Structure 1
Amino acid sequence: MKRRQFTPTLLAAGAALALAGCAGPQVQDYARETPPINLREYLSGPLTAHGMFTDRSGRVVKRFTVTMTGTWQGDSGTLDEHFTYSDGSKQRRVWHLKDLGNGRFSGRADDVVGEALGESSGNAFRWTYTLALPVDGRVWNVTMDDWMYRMDARTVLNRTAMSKFGVHLGDVTLSFTKD
């Protein structure tokens, strides 16, 4: 029986294939999906969202409702969000958005560390940012990988993966409805 030897080229090709299998979706993967998401149009006027946070095991930790209003002047927008959580607590976040052109956006909010960056293609929009999240009297800077998908004229579904130091903490799931 002849023994096979693996050449460095074959090993490199195998490693490249393995890494490619681990790569996540890119916003351009949704270029042909409809209806297209036009963030400026969708985030104009009143919106309502219902959501939940699940921990890494999938257990629902907190549910919430968000009422929000989006306004735009030129390339600058404001999204004023009012959260009501299942435990009765409330929170407000005001996003200051900037349309950078070609489906790209940036955003800032008081509890966002630095700048959020986003890009749309087809029916999908992806935000990435760091959120300063209060947890048990401390503040954790948590990485947010936020995906929005336009379903129809009134509905956008949103899923956000939360992580810290590359460790998955949980997910936020939202359903937005344009009033």
Structure 2
Amino acid sequence: MTRFLLLLGLALSIASCGSVDVARYADQQPALNLEQFFSQPVKAWGMFQKRNGEVVKRFEVDIASRREGENLILDERFRYSDGTRERRVWTLTPGGNGQWSGRAHDVVGVAQGQIAGNTFHWRYRLNLPVDDSTYEMSMDDWMYLVDEDTLINRTRMSKWGFEVGQVTVFFRRQNAGANP
């Protein structure tokens, strides 16, 4: 049993060593401004892959946003390749110096994030329904602004420190290319 606990501890410590500091992207342009990016409707396309690379689900998302005081509300409506639908409404609150916190009905506790340059690093725990069960997953989101209308998101999903899969999402502002 002691050997197992030592190996588990070693595996968890190795897994936690691979994180990049978001500050590394501080000079990257264009600078990401969440309120500005989500100031108009956004369409997103994505997929979930198991850790072996197998794509198990694809999806589209329509995102509408609004301001409520200092909060940014993101209303996400998902349509999955298997015909299921889901809705998640985020309440994002700026904390100054690029810090953000967020809540949604299926997020455990409070999501915490930091923007630096063109990058938003976001961590939270999500109650994820799969078949007839719900699993609490750790989500490690990295969002990169490519241009003023395009955002790419890569999320590592893990359970007990072990990667379960990845989510890749491409966001595009719907009025992209329109003259202001």
With normalisation by structure 2, the TM-score equals: 0.86
Residue number in structure 1 paired with 2:71:
76
Cα distance between partner residues in 2 of 1:59 and 1:29? 31
Cα distance between partner residues in 1 of 2:94 and 2:67? 10
Residue number in structure 2 paired with 1:52:
47
Q: Which moved more, 1:76-85 or 1:66-75?
A: 66-75
Q: Which AA in structure 1 matches 2:94?
A: D
- State whether structure 2 residue 168 is matched by structure 1 residue 170: no
Residue number in structure 2 paired with 1:134:
129
Q: What is the correspondence of 1:88-103 to structure 2 with a 5 Å cutoff?
A: 88-103=83-98
Residue number in structure 2 paired with 1:61:
56
- State whether structure 2 residue 124 is matched by structure 1 residue 125: no
Selected match of 2:37 from 27, 42, 66:
42
- State whether structure 2 residue 151 is matched by structure 1 residue 151: no
Residue number in structure 2 paired with 1:32:
27
Cα distance between partner residues in 2 of 1:101 and 1:119? 10
Q: Residues 105 and 34 (structure 1 numbering): CA distance in 2 closer, same or farther, change over 3 Å?
A: same
Instruction: From the CA coordinates, give the structure whose radius of gyration is larger.
Output: 1
Q: Which AA in structure 2 matches 1:152?
A: D
Q: Which AA in structure 2 matches 1:114?
A: G
Unmatched runs of 5 consecutive residues or more in structure 1? 1-18
Residues 75 and 100 of structure 1 are in contact (CA less than 8 Å); yes or no, is this contact kept in structure 2?
no
Cα distance between partner residues in 2 of 1:136 and 1:165? 20
The alignment-based identity, stated in percent, is 48
Residues 162 and 168 of structure 1 are in contact (CA less than 8 Å); yes or no, is this contact kept in structure 2?
yes
- State whether structure 2 residue 117 is matched by structure 1 residue 114: no
Q: Which AA in structure 1 matches 2:143?
A: M
Residues 44 and 72 of structure 1 are in contact (CA less than 8 Å); yes or no, is this contact kept in structure 2?
no
Q: Which AA in structure 1 matches 2:146?
A: M
Give 3-state SS (helix, strand or coil) of 1:28's partner. Answer: helix
Deviations 1:50-91 (A, max 9, x none): 000000001101000000111123321100000000011100
Cα distance between partner residues in 1 of 2:109 and 2:68? 23
Unmatched runs of 5 consecutive residues or more in structure 2? 1-13, 175-180
Q: Which AA in structure 2 matches 1:50?
A: W
Residues 82 and 92 of structure 1 are in contact (CA less than 8 Å); yes or no, is this contact kept in structure 2?
yes
